[in-house]
Amino acid sequence: MTWTCRNRSFRSIESARGVTLLELLIVLALLIAIAAAVGPTVLTQLDERRFESAMDVTARQMVLARAHAQSSGLPVEVLSHANAERTRVSARLLAIEMDDEPQPLAHHWAERMLAFGYTIADHPPQQGEAFGVVDEVQRDSSRVRLAVFLPDGSAMHAGRRWLSDGNGRVARIDVNPYTGEVTFTRLAPEDLRVPEDEEELMRWDAP
């Protein structure tokens, strides 16, 4: 009887023991392996959604700027301002008189901040300054004019701009000067190839 009681007591103690260090290490290794396999895919999907959101926000802002120009009867300019950290896209009323300053719009959509690392340029990423439209605003590389929408729905200084997230994702922004229509087109790396001759350059740079 005594032996039986001791045996039962021993089994009870053995069944109540905690996990060993080796078991913890095995579980930790499995979790690390799963994170390593799934993590890059999740991060890529998050970056993709963030880029799609930036395109949607910028496109909506430009459409609303065009609508405001038509309803107010005043031209509306859309600019991007870049600093060391982020890019801000804003809309403002242009002055009718030469001495008047442009007026910022007091609407919630008139100013938006893009995510860290995002830029809008008047030339494709990693291409020379010779591509794209250059005017007085464009001379300051931190400011890029996307378009000036007129009361009749058309657009001045319209053409091509490029939105980039700094990680290889690029979208081309096209503004039709006659209709003011704004379109965003995702580009593959081969679409950013430098044109090899003048004729191809003219086709590539055409709105």
Question: pLDDT tens digit string along 87-127?
Answer: 899 999 987 665 567 888 888 888 988 888 888 988 887 64
- pLDDT of 194 reads 55
CATH architecture of the domain covering 42-205: 3-Layer(bab) Sandwich (3.55)
Q: Is residue 101 classed as helix, strand or coil in its secondary structure?
A: coil
State residue 36's pLDDT score.
74
Tens-place pLDDT, residues 37-63: 766 777 778 888 899 999 998 999 999
- At 15-26, the pLDDT tens digits run 556 678 887 888
Domain boundaries, the chain: 42-205
Residues 6+ apart with CB under 8 A from 160: 122, 132, 133, 172, 173, 174, 205, 207
Residue 160 clears pLDDT 70, i.e. is over it: yes
Q: Coil, strand, or helix at residue 39?
A: helix
> What integer pLDDT is reported at residue 138 of this predicted model?
42
More confident residue, 187 or 197: 187
**Average pLDDT, whole number, for the chain?**
77
| 128 band by pLDDT with thresholds 50, 70 and 90 | very low
